[in-house]
Chains A and B, each alone.
Chain A
Amino acid sequence: MDAEVARSARTRDIELKLLLDAIYLRYHYDFRSYAVASLRRRMTAALARFGCETVSQLQERLLHDPTTFPQLLDYLTVQVSEMFRDPAYFLALRERVVPLLRTYPSLKVWVAGCSTGEEAYSLAILLREEGLASRTQIYATDINPHALRRAEAGIYELDRIALFTENHRRSGGKSSFSDWYTAGYGRAVLDRELRRQIVFSDHSLATDTVFAEVQLVSCRNVLIYFNRPLQDRALGLFREALCPRGFLGVGARESLRFSAHGHAFEDVARDERIFRKRAGA
């Protein structure tokens, strides 16, 4: 590598490591085990947003101006989601998982890394349609308080609703998606009944522990941002939280094959990435 370019890349990586340490020490958010390639990209975007030349400059601002961190957090955490994303996943949940969930008198579902709530509300609608809502509690967790507040509001831009509606239809939706929201002023406000089914709360897969026994964990496109050890930690939490023979759903191109906990799960719907905890695991 060109010596100067190599030096600046190395310097940037040192700065990034120091920044993550600073965030951890000052704000107790632990990004130190996030996948580096994604962090570098997000940091580049953040530097442009904050008008900083170097990561060190951003670090100085971060440590001395407490208003900076909440804004940076939006760059470091996933904000991209949509309702019924990957309709085949929700269809497989309906067909392969719901029949077994019906056998439980009460149900708990954990949406880990819920961001702005789209996935949690999708599951709330699905469980309603399947007649399981009255016995189900959904826990939706994330580390970003700003995202959690938006999730709690359950208000989405109206121009996203066409996509949500089409996804819902393809997911085997048994109702009309328009039954679940009220439109006005360019926004769609989700049915408050859905909101009542979900507890949104702050939880970190990097630093917190298990808080409940659940029958289903849905954690999609969150683990991709973690390095292998942190993925193992998160999957370990899911394994511990799941009841015997409980279900786990991950993102379309996420895999348990490369994890220390892979052997604890078996396929339920291979293409849709739905797994079930093995007996005794």
Chain B
Amino acid sequence: MSERALAVDAVVIGGSAGVVQVLLHELLPALPAALAAPVFIVVHVPRDRPTLLPQLFRERSAVPLLEAEDKMPIKPGCVYLAPPDYHLLVDDGPQLALSADEPIQFSRPSIDALFESAADWYGERLLGIVLTGASSDGAQGLRAVRDAGGMAVVEDPDTAATPYMPSAARALVPDATVLSRERIAALLARLPVSKP
């Protein structure tokens, strides 16, 4: 324990092109086994293919990882992945809610929709991270996180697999913290953990 735990109650993460590799190899393995905050992830996936992502991700994650279902209770220490073809929202409670409303910025699930709803509930106790990707989804959402007083992080576009998404987020949220993947992994390692 080199650095003190982050003062956050939840984490939202979004990305598209290139993000599966980043999550698999760098970020999910960085989550502490005794994680005490929920993590919500939107990855842009094609709508009509059965997704293997939950299975794939589960192998790399020391904490339970679930594909989100409507009205699922939110447990600290769980990772929730947005299902294909639905928006994932944090509803009052908090509990998970899904929406089949139209795609936002051509995407369903939408990173913006997740981030904005999570910012509504968690306010300043939220960490939002926009990773590699090929659309500008996530930029508005990250601004909502920042505006609510939460912590806004962008993957360094210079080293991101696809810089478009983090660049768009940085352009809209100039005071977001820009970090390399390694630094983001180190940040996640400092998430609050439950006392043994």
Interface residues of A (CB under 8 A from B): 1-2, 5-6, 9, 35-38, 40-42, 78, 80, 221, 223-225, 227-228, 231, 251-255, 257-259
- List the B side residues contacting A224 at CB < 8 Å: 70, 86, 97-100
- List the B side residues contacting A42 at CB < 8 Å: 101
Q: Which residue of B lies closest to A87 (CB)?
A: B48
CB <8 Å contact, A9 and B120: yes
20 contacts between A and B (CB under 8 A): A1-B148, A5-B148, A6-B123, A9-B120, A35-B91, A38-B89, A78-B100, A80-B102, A223-B70, A224-B86, A225-B99, A228-B71, A228-B95, A253-B67, A253-B68, A253-B98, A255-B69, A255-B70, A255-B72, A258-B70
- List the A side residues contacting B148 at CB < 8 Å: 1-2, 5-6, 9
CB <8 Å contact, A80 and B101: yes
CA distance A168 to B123 in the complex (A): 44
Q: How far does the Cβ of B78 sit from chain A's closest Cβ, in whole Å? A: 15
Interface residues of B (CB under 8 A from A): 67-73, 83, 85-86, 89-92, 95, 97-102, 113, 116-117, 120, 123-124, 147-149
Q: How far does the Cβ of B50 sit from chain A's closest Cβ, in whole Å? A: 9
- List the A side residues contacting B120 at CB < 8 Å: 9, 37, 40
- List the B side residues contacting A251 at CB < 8 Å: 70, 100
- List the B side residues contacting A253 at CB < 8 Å: 67-70, 83, 86, 98
- List the B side residues contacting A227 at CB < 8 Å: 91
CB <8 Å contact, B89 and A5: no
CB <8 Å contact, B71 and A255: yes
Q: How far does the Cβ of B119 sit from chain A's closest Cβ, in whole Å? A: 9
Q: Which residue of B lies closest to A45 (CB)?
A: B101
Q: How far does the Cβ of B36 sit from chain A's closest Cβ, in whole Å? A: 21
- List the A side residues contacting B149 at CB < 8 Å: 1-2, 5-6
CA distance A231 to B123 in the complex (A): 27
Cβ-neighbour of B123 out of A1, A37, A40, A80 (below 8 A): A1
Q: How far does the Cβ of B28 sit from chain A's closest Cβ, in whole Å? A: 22
CA distance A14 to B95 in the complex (A): 20
CB <8 Å contact, B101 and A78: yes
CA distance A130 to B63 in the complex (A): 46
- List the A side residues contacting B86 at CB < 8 Å: 224, 252-253
- List the A side residues contacting B73 at CB < 8 Å: 258
Q: A5-B149, A228-B71, A254-B69 are in contact. Are A37 and B124 (CB under 8 A)?
A: no
Q: How far does the Cβ of B123 sit from chain A's closest Cβ, in whole Å? A: 3
Q: How far does the Cβ of B142 sit from chain A's closest Cβ, in whole Å? A: 15
CB <8 Å contact, B99 and A38: yes
Q: How far does the Cβ of B102 sit from chain A's closest Cβ, in whole Å? A: 5
Q: How far does the Cβ of A134 sit from chain B's closest Cβ, in whole Å? A: 33
CA distance A224 to B97 in the complex (A): 7
CB <8 Å contact, A38 and B101: yes
Given A5-B149, A9-B123, A251-B70, 10 extra CB contacts under 8 A: A1-B124, A5-B147, A6-B123, A9-B120, A35-B91, A40-B120, A224-B86, A224-B97, A251-B100, A254-B98
Q: Which residue of A lies closest to B86 (CB)?
A: A253
Q: How far does the Cβ of A14 sit from chain B's closest Cβ, in whole Å? A: 14
Q: Which residue of A lies closest to B113 (CB)?
A: A41
CA distance A1 to B19 in the complex (A): 29
CA distance A167 to B92 in the complex (A): 35
CB <8 Å contact, A37 and B92: yes
